[in-house]
Amino acid sequence: MRKLILLIALLTLVAFVSGAMAQEKATTAPAKPAAAPAPKMEKFSGDIKSVDAMAKSIVVAKGKEEKTFAATADTKITKGKEALKFEDLKAGMNVAIQYKMEMDKMIAGTIKVGAAPKAAPKKK
């Protein structure tokens, strides 16, 4: 009888200890945060309609469609192989922009300035 009580007590102790250890492992495992998908880069091209140096934004028009893009410190602005500054952008320049949507803003990743269109030949 004494051995039976000792055996039951030992099995009960083992069951409680293993249950507590299993519960501890489940609660201490770090939860992996869900990785947000990288924003998809989109493209738009047209002519600069206006430049706002204070807000560091430009309005680009293509036909009747207009889009406003914000520039950040990470925005790369180039004309051919030459790097430009935001201040070098002027209305009338032809640009191709790669941008991503963040909240409700279009953030420019790259702005490529195209060559100025050639003037039409003069009629004689």
* pTM of the full structure: 0.62
Does the domain at residues 42-113 carry the CATH identifier 1.20.1270.10? no
User: Which residues touch 44 (CB under 8 Å, ≥6 apart)?
Assistant: 60, 62, 67, 69, 96, 97, 99
Q: For 42-67, write each residue's pLDDT tens digit.
A: 999 999 999 999 999 999 999 999 99
Domain locations along the chain: 42-113
Q: What is the pLDDT of residues 62-105, one digit of tens each?
A: 999 999 999 999 999 999 999 999 999 999 999 999 999 988 89
pLDDT grade, residue 24 (50/70/90)? low
Query: Any idea what the Cα angle at residue 120 is, between residues 117 and 124, rounded to 5°?
Result: 165
Q: Can you read off the two tokens belonging to residue 106?
A: 């279009």
| Residue 112 in this model has a pLDDT that exceeds 70 | yes
Most confident of 30-34, 35-39, 92-96, 117-121: 92-96
Asked if residue 6 has pLDDT above 90, the reply is no
